[in-house]
């Protein structure tokens, strides 16, 4: 009975983790750079994502609305640091693996969920490291961006990615416990101890 509930919980957590992984990948808020150079970047904040970098400029659309400029980058751009290139590949791989896991056998499904969680964990922690050590990115001159920031903060995409990792790993673990009798025995034994 407990194992069936774990399977259902695992499925729900895996689906939610997958959705959060997709949201994290699309956000530009992986890293927030603070800069005092306000000649181009009027807000003093630059948002660095894994697919683009954005900032507000002095140009105004209306009295209160400023224009946000974004520059996209791709796998083959030479200036992109390794943590962003790896994030592009691994987060995309996590999304594809989770989608494949839905279509494949039940046994392969928990393994792919766990592997998808690890694929998100690597870029999330690597980008946290880059924020902590204020790592620079040598943007091309056409981006009108400084190559380094005065300070960096973790953006909103990182916590979303961390929650995605936790949910995917929990989902894979719950699914494995349903499939393997050794884990079944441990789970049923611990539930007997609780009674």
State the angle between helix axes of 108-132 and 2-26 in degrees (0 to 180), rounded to the nearest 10.
40
Position 61 scores a pLDDT of 52
pLDDT of residue 36: 82
E strands in the chain: 31-34, 41-48, 52-60, 66-72, 151-154
**Residue, of 180 and 100, whose pLDDT is higher:** 100
Count Cβ atoms within 10 A of the Cβ of residue 47 and give its class: 0-12 exposed, 13-18 middle, 19 or more buried: buried
What token pair was written down for 110?
């928990």
Q: Quick one: 161 exposed, middle or buried, by C-beta within 10 A (0-12, 13-18, 19+)?
A: buried
Higher pLDDT, 182 or 174: 174
CA 114 from chain center: how many Å? Answer: 15
Delimit the domains of the chain by residue range.
Answer: 2-189
Q: Which residue has the higher pLDDT, 22 or 66?
A: 22
The mean predicted confidence, pLDDT, of the chain is 82
Percent of the chain with pLDDT over 90: 34
What pLDDT was estimated at residue 93? 92
Q: Distance of CA 41 to CAs 56, 64, 146, 163, Å?
A: 6, 16, 10, 31
Q: Which helix (H) or strand (E) holds 123?
A: helix 108-132
Residue 3 token pair: 């194992």
CB-CB neighbours of 179 under 10 Å: 15
**Class (C level, CATH) for 2-189:** mainly alpha
CB-based burial label for 195 (10 Å; 0-12, 13-18, 19+): exposed
CB atoms within 10 A of CB 76: 7
Distance in angstroms (rounded) separating the CA atoms of residues 88 and 75: 7
Answer whether residue 185 shows pLDDT above 50: no
d(CA 177, CA 13): 15
Taking the C-alpha atoms of residue 162 and residue 168, their distance in angstroms, rounded to an integer, is: 10
**Range scoring the smallest mean pLDDT among 1-10, 27-36, 60-69, 130-139:** 60-69
* 195 Cβ neighbours under 8 A, 6+ residues apart: none
What pLDDT digit, counting tens, does each position of 96-106 carry?
Answer: 888 777 666 55
């Amino acid at each position: 009975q407990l194992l069936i509930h774990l399977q259902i919980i695992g499925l729900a957590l895996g689906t939610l983790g997958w959705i959060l992984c997709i949201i994290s990948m699309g956000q530009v808020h992986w890293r927030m750079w603070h800069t005092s150079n306000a000649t181009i970047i009027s807000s003093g904040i630059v948002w660095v994502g894994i697919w683009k970098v954005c900032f507000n400029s002095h140009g105004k659309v209306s009295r209160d609305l400023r224009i946000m400029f974004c520059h996209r980058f791709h796998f083959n751009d030479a200036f992109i640091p390794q943590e962003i290139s790896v994030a592009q590949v691994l987060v995309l791989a996590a999304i594809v693996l989770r989608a494949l896991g839905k279509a494949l056998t039940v046994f392969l499904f928990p393994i792919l969920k766990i592997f998808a969680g690890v694929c998100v964990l690597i870029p999330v922690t690597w980008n946290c490291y880059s924020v902590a050590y204020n790592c620079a990115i040598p943007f091309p001159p056409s981006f009108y961006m400084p190559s380094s920031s005065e300070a960096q903060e973790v953006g909103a995409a990182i916590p979303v990615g961390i929650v995605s990792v936790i949910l995917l790993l929990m989902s894979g673990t719950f699914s494995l416990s349903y499939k393997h009798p050794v884990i079944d025995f441990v789970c049923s034994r611990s539930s007997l101890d609780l009674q």
